[in-house]
Structure formats: C-alpha cells, structure tokens
C-alpha cells in the first residue's frame, strides 16, 4: 500500500500467550504449550487479516518469543515489545496463570485479555483474576470471554470473541496512531465558532498530540515566493481543467467575475491545495534553498480558518477542503487528509477518529435544518417514506462546498449497493463516477467576497451512516455524541424545493437517525434538538460500537448514542462504577483521567 505521509512507525500489536507456570513431574506447563501458542497464532491471523492502518497496510502483529508463566518471561516479553514499538497488547490463555506475575504492567499500552472458555483448565478464572488485578492497579483492560464452552482442542475463534478482538484492535490502532502527531491550524478562530477555539490541553492530554499553528499569510508567502512544487501544481491544474465541471454562477450579473478572472481563481485554488498538503506533511521537491519548508508539520489532521478575513479578500478554501478530504486527487486514489472547515478543531478530530477506524473519506457538514414529515409535506407535497417516516423527519447536512465528494453515493460495491469505499479500494472508474456527479459552481459572493469554487452534489442514495461530534464542556472535559442512521434518497424535485431554501451551490445530503423511542432518539427532531454544536462529522457505515470502545480508551465519556447495549464494549473496570452504562462511563473516565496528563 501507500507509504505513510507521517513521521513515526504505525503502532504494533503484541500478543502475550500466558500459561500456568507449574512444571514438575506432571508437566502442567508443558501440556499447555501448544494450546496456548495456538491461541496466540489464531488471534494474530485474525487481526492481520481484518485490521488495517490508515495507509491500507495490514496491521503488524507480533507474539512473545515464549509463553509467559513467570515474571522473568513477562519482563522479556515487555523488552521485546518495547523495542518493536508495541503500543497495544492482547494477552491470551486457556488456563490458570499467575496474574500479577504475568500481566502487562506497562501503563502506556492499551490492553485486552482473552480467557478461553473451556472446562479442562480454568482460563476464565485467570481472566477474572487478572482483570481484577488490572483494576486494582489502575491499569484498565478489556476482557474477552466467549459465550459458549469450547473443547480443549478447538482452535477456532467463536464469532462473539472475534467481534471483541477486532473491535478492540481497530479502536486501539486508531488511538495509538494519533500519538505524537500534530493538529495543524491554518489561521485561528472562525466567526466566533467555539470549536475553532483550539484547546492544546485537549490534544496533548487526551490524544497525545501536539498543536501546530500557521497564519494564513504563509500560503500567500509561498505563492508569492514560488515555494511550491511547480510540477505538482501544473498536474493539479491540468486535472482540474479536465475533471472539475463548472456550474452556474448565482451572483448578480454586475458582480460576476470575467472568465479570465475565474481562470485565475482556479490557478490560485490549485496552488492553495498543493501548499496545504506541503504544510501538513512536507515535500522534498520544493525549490532548492527551501529546506525549512520541506519538512512540514507532521499533521494527521488540521483546519483552515477562512472566514472572514481570508474569504473577504481571497478565493475560499472549499476546493482544497473538499478534494483533500476525498479519497483521491490529481494523483489518483490516496489516503484522505482531514482538513476541517472553519478550523473546527473538534469536528475535524471527530472526522479523524472515524477515518482511522474505517479507512474511508469523511463528511464535514452543518447540521443545518430539521425537516418534519409535516413540513416536507407542506412545502413539497411529498410524504416521507421508510426510515425517514419512522423518525418523523430528516436532517439537512450541508456546508459551504467543502464536503468530500465520496459522499455523492454514486459509487457501488460488488453487489450494486451505494458505498463510500475504503480509499485503497477506490478505482479510476470510481473517481470518474464521483467527479461526474460533482459540479463546481462559483462561490456565493455574499458569503465569500473573494470568490472561489464550491463542490456541489446530491446524495441520491440510502447508505448506512454514523454522525458524531466531540464537544468540550467547561468543568467536565470532552464528551462524544454518536448517532447511527442513514442517508435518505428523496425524489429530485423534492430535494430541489427544499435545497433552494438554503444555499443551492453547496453539497446536499439528507440524514435520518435510527430511533429507539427513548430520550434524544424519539425522533429526528430530538436528535437535532440535542445536538451539541453546529457541525457534525459523518462516516459511511454503522460504526458507533467501535467509537464507544475507542472513546473509553481515550477516557472520553459518550453523552448520547443509539447503540444497542449488548454492543457496548469498554474496559472491565467500568463495571465497578455502577450498574448504568452511561453513569459507569462518566465516573470511570473521571477517575482514570486522560492518559497523557502529566499533572493530576
């Protein structure tokens, strides 16, 4: 797959096969060696086959050199894992082991323990014992215990165990990938939006990241002084001219720019996209003598302020945001960047969480308008059907042309279903399909006095989707909202009537949540009314359970979700904080605190 754009290796998962350390004439340990190591090998294969880094590579998994029966072997395992860059450990065993001697004591690793459900040896007893010891020592670990009893010689992994191992692995790899990387804000606060008021403490203490800041004038300096890759720029501009279909100009005729002026704006826009990529991750092809600019900021996520100082004078960043957030550009399919509109640091980070979990491009949108069934009927004469009818309405997801074009919903999977593919599965044909479904109207000069181009498409597909939002709450810290639902396909004439009541030059997606009849999930209105900010991050697929697991690793409580309780998977210590799942989460996150906070 593609070489990582980031400095630093991807996290490695280390498997720790623990065993009953008793030897002697009966040879207890010796009788368990094969079964124990086979568990480790099975888990290794399962993870390697199904979990991926963000660049599309299969996750690297290593196993301790020997089974671990006593503390010396635990220490040897830890030494090997430290040298190999292991950030995540999975302990596996079919039998009783000496808990405090064999457990993973590294406070910085993300931990899980799988105890085999068999009757010959008490793997479940070790699991319960070592999880209790993890809790006692303040080292939370995820427990994995199959529902059905297995025979001792059964090397298969039950479905429920597979689900937990893979959920743990996906979430842990996403969490560990963020460590040591940067959030790059280009500009600062946008129009007083709270999410664009960056909190270095959040990034440093909860995510293990650093914050980098660059003034927007750096883009102008690089354009003016020619500090960009000319070959890359020419390739980008040629691709734009070939692939980016122009659309209407909604502005009054007397304010519209000439064709020559609009062509200049495209040249400016292409340079801007190239320079933002260089700011994120550097570029060793910049002109000689520009070694300082070549190195970049090692950014895994970032945001662009834009409004209003930039967009009142220069072409907006909509094209750059849209194409960088997409799964491709002029070089073909590639890992999506995460570039938050209006430098909404919390929405961009929400997008990052889901990209790392899925390998897919992510949507950035205003959670703009709730349309009830009655309002839709009154305005258009159309009666909502299906899931939208069940939720009594739809939510309009729309923003200033900066959404990834993957969200058009025109790409199909092998069964003909609309999909937003993992980026490494995107073909040249898929790219052409997405670009054919997208147009680029000239910007609304009421919003953007400096002009520019917005992406424009309609999501004409029903796709499973998950919308989330991180919010920072004074006195509490970060919290996460999660809503699983679907994009909604409306008749074009209905979409047209509703869309024209807002900005018609921006991409348009209709969303409806899965309702539960309780709390904020009684209807689509209740979801909208309980949403914590003006923006949302939206991913293809129902990934709420993975996000809950990931949030627990980061010690971020989930304040709103519609995930079935039997899918909620958190460290076993959470069970000690009460019987209600939501209360457990808040209390446990408060007790343990952020992993990277030095002063507590």
**Which residue among the candidates 101, 342, 344, 410 is catalytic per the annotation?**
342
Number of structural domains (the chain) is 2
Whether 470 maps to a domain, the answer reads yes
Are 133 and 239 in a shared domain? no
Are 242 and 141 in a shared domain? no
Are 542 and 577 in a shared domain? yes
**pLDDT digit of tens for each residue in the chain (600 aa)?**
578 999 999 999 999 999 998 998 888 899 999 999 999 999 999 999 999 999 999 999 999 999 999 999 999 999 999 999 999 999 999 999 999 999 999 999 999 999 999 888 878 899 999 999 999 999 999 999 999 999 888 889 999 999 999 999 999 999 999 999 999 999 999 999 999 999 999 999 999 999 999 999 999 999 999 999 999 999 999 999 999 999 999 999 999 999 999 999 999 999 999 999 999 999 999 999 999 999 999 999 999 999 999 999 999 999 999 999 999 999 999 999 999 999 999 999 999 999 999 999 999 999 999 999 999 999 999 999 999 999 999 999 999 888 999 999 999 999 999 999 999 999 999 999 999 999 999 999 998 999 999 999 999 999 999 999 999 999 999 999 999 999 999 999 999 999 999 999 999 999 999 999 999 999 999 999 999 999 999 999 999 999 999 999 999 999 999 999 999 999 999 999 999 999 999 999 999 999 998 876
Quote the domain boundaries for residue 210: 182-592
Q: Tokens 């899918």 identify what position? A: 567
pLDDT at position 488: 98
Domain termination site, one of 149, 178, 207: 178
pLDDT at position 256: 96
Whether 5 maps to a domain, the answer reads no
Whether 599 maps to a domain, the answer reads no
Are 321 and 233 in a shared domain? yes
Are 250 and 165 in a shared domain? no
Whether 423 maps to a domain, the answer reads yes
CA neighbours closer than 13 Å in the CB half-sphere of residue 255: 13
Q: Are 134 and 103 in contact (CB under 8 A)?
A: yes
**Which residue among the candidates 104, 321, 366, 392 is catalytic per the annotation?**
366
CA distance 530 to 527: 5
Domain termination site, one of 157, 178, 199: 178
Are 551 and 574 in a shared domain? yes
Are 214 and 363 in a shared domain? yes
pLDDT at position 519: 95
Whether 339 maps to a domain, the answer reads yes
Are 163 and 188 in a shared domain? no
Q: Are 513 and 521 in contact (CB under 8 A)?
A: yes
Which residues make beta-bridge pairs with 114?
A: 92, 144
Does 293 participate in catalysis according to the annotation?
no
Does 160 participate in catalysis according to the annotation?
no
- What Rg value do the Cα atoms of the chain yield, rounded? 26
pLDDT at position 330: 98
pTM, entire model:
0.97
Are 582 and 468 in a shared domain? yes
pLDDT at position 506: 95
Output the domain CATH number for residue 482.
3.20.14.10
CA distance 48 to 187: 40
pLDDT at position 110: 98
Are 526 and 435 in a shared domain? yes
Whether 598 maps to a domain, the answer reads no
CA distance 575 to 168: 17
CA distance 112 to 175: 14
Whether 600 maps to a domain, the answer reads no
Domain termination site, one of 143, 160, 178: 178
Are 168 and 192 in a shared domain? no
Are 211 and 303 in a shared domain? yes
Output the domain CATH number for residue 85.
3.40.50.1070
CA neighbours closer than 13 Å in the CB half-sphere of residue 50: 16
């Amino acid at each position: 797959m593609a070489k990582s754009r980031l400095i630093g290796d991807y996290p490695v998962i280390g498997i720790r096969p623990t065993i009953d350390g008793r030897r002697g004439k009966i040879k207890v340990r010796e009788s368990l060696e094969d079964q124990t190591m086979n568990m480790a090998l099975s888990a290794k294969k399962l993870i390697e086959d199904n979990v991926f880094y963000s660049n599309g590579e299969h996750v690297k998994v290593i196993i301790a050199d020997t089974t671990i029966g006593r503390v010396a072997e635990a220490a040897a395992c830890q030494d090997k894992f430290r040298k190999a860059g292991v950030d995540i450990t999975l302990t596996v065993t079919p039998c009783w082991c000496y808990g405090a001697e064999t457990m993973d004591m590294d406070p910085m690793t993300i931990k899980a323990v799988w105890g085999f459900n068999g009757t010959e040896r008490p793997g479940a007893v070790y699991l319960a014992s070592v999880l209790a010891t993890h809790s006692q020592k303040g080292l939370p670990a995820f427990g994995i215990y199959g529902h059905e009893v297995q025979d001792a010689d059964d090397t298969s992994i039950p479905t429920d165990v597979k689900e937990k191992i893979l959920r743990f692995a996906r979430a842990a790899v996403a969490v560990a990938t963020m460590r040591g990387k940067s959030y790059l804000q280009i500009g600062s606060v946008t129009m007083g939006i709270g999410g664009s008021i960056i909190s270095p403490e959040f990034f440093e203490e909860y995510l293990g990241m650093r914050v980098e800041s660059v003034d927007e004038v750096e883009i102008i300096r690089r354009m003016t002084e020619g500090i960009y890759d000319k070959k890359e720029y020419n390739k980008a501009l040629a691709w734009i001219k070939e692939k980016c279909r122009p659309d209407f100009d909604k502005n009054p005729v007397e304010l519209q720019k000439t064709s020559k002026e609009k062509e200049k704006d495209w040249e400016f826009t292409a340079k801007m996209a190239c320079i933002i990529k260089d700011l994120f991750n550097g570029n060793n092809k910049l002109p000689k003598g520009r070694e300082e600019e070549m190195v970049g900021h090692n950014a895994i996520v970032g945001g662009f302020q834009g409004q209003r100082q930039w967009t009142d004078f220069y072409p907006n960043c909509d094209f750059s945001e849209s194409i960088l957030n997409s799964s491709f550009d002029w070089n073909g399919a590639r890992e999506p960047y995460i570039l938050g509109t209006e430098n909404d640091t919390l929405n961009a980070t929400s997008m990052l969480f889901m990209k790392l979990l899925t390998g897919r491009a992510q949507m950035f949108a205003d959670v703009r308008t709730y349309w009830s069934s009655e309002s839709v009927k009154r305005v258009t004469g159309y009666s909502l059907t299906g899931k939208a009818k069940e939720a009594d309405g739809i939510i309009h997801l729309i923003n200033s042309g900066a959404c990834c074009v993957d969200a058009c919903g025109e790409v199909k999977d092998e069964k003909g279903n609309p999909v937003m593919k993992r980026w490494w599965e995107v073909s040249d044909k898929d790219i052409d399909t997405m670009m054919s479904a997208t147009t680029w109207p000239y910007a609304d000069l009421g919003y953007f006095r400096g002009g520019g181009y917005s992406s424009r498409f309609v999501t004409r597909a029903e796709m499973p989707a998950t919308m989330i939002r991180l919010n920072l709450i004074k006195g509490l810290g970060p919290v996460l909202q999660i809503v699983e639902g679907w994009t909604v396909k409306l008749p074009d004439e209905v979409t047209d009537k509703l869309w024209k009541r807002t900005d018609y030059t921006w991409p348009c997606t209709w969303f409806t949540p899965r309702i539960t009849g309780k709390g904020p999930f009684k209807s689509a209105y209740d979801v909208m009314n309980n949403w914590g900010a003006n923006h949302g991050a939206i991913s293809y697929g129902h990934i709420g359970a993975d996000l809950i697991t990931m949030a627990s690793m980061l010690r971020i409580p989930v304040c709103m979700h519609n995930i079935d309780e039997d899918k909620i998977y958190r460290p076993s210590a959470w069970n000690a904080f009460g019987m209600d799942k939501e209360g457990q989460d808040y209390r446990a996150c408060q007790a343990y605190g952020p992993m990277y906070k030095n002063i507590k």
